[in-house]
Structure 1
Amino acid sequence: MSVPPAAPRRELVLPGPQDTEAFGARVGASLRAGDLVLLSGDLGAGKTTFTRGLARALGVRGPVTSPTFVIARVHPSLVGGPELVHVDAYRLGSLAEVDDLDLDTDAEEAVTVVEWGRGLVEELSRDRLEIDLLRPHGAAGGGPDGVAAAEDEAPVEPRRVTVRGIGERWAGVDLG
């Protein structure tokens, strides 16, 4: 099988969770049935927050929460669009375990978002969107401007995001 073409990587910084969710909504507005989105990154980097925004743009039933313990959750459309299949592959160790989920049955009719899916689900679609969300390593806490959060709040850390479209579907699509 030949390697599908890849769009250039795009990098951006998202100052806080609301920006991560808003970016998810921007990406979600450009998605259609059959699209596969792979989310990778640090634990707590905002993969589910991103998916929450994406789901809002798709107009699916919520709430969108991490599917870590159920592995996959389906969110039907409330607006006649594609449903969202939200998968957490963190506890899956092989392609056989992914196959047991029967994700490819819904793949053409739904938008499929897989957290922790790199190296496991690329076979589901020749075209896919790969998004890495990374927390700053060694950050001492504080907001994007270096100001510490109040004692009762978690520190706000910017996220570094890398977006790359794989395949013809993503050629020329601007997701920044």
Structure 2
Amino acid sequence: MKRISILFVCMGNICRSPLAEGIFSHLVAEAGLNGCFTIGSAGTGGWHDGEPPDWRSVAIARSHGIDISGQRARRIQPQDFRDFGLILAMDRDNMAALGRIAPDGANIGLFGDTALGTGENIPDPYYGGPDGFELVYTRLLTGCSSLLGTLGAERPSWSGNTSSVR
């Protein structure tokens, strides 16, 4: 399998995209495919540069056996369009923001189209409570699992609590 590079993008890179990066990285590791992927996340805005993910994203990931506490927020950079073969926006607003700064030929998609096949936006849970973060986790897990399968990898074994929804 050739090396595939994926960048997950949301607005501030503290809620949705760090969760997507963490979930996808975990699934790739479970499948024994670490050497086949480069995985990252970024935000369309730089308000949170250098900060860890929102504590609620860290907590929901941890409750499912995934540690994203070491990630740091960053704004998307011009070189990301060269370094990542697939850039997935969490919603249409971020996809539009990417479209305004991307060079011609950049492979930008909506997570809801590419990974879920539903065309849905992944809602921003920032202003809500824990249920919103659980919903986002569940949608991202479903999409990341599908994405890994679509990219030709064997489905990972669903051991542990990674696929559980509490």
The answer to whether the superposition gives a TM-score over 0.5 is: no
Q: TM-score, normalised by structure 1?
A: 0.31
Q: TM-score, normalised by structure 2?
A: 0.32
The answer to which structure has the higher helix fraction is 2
Q: Which has the larger radius of gyration?
A: 1
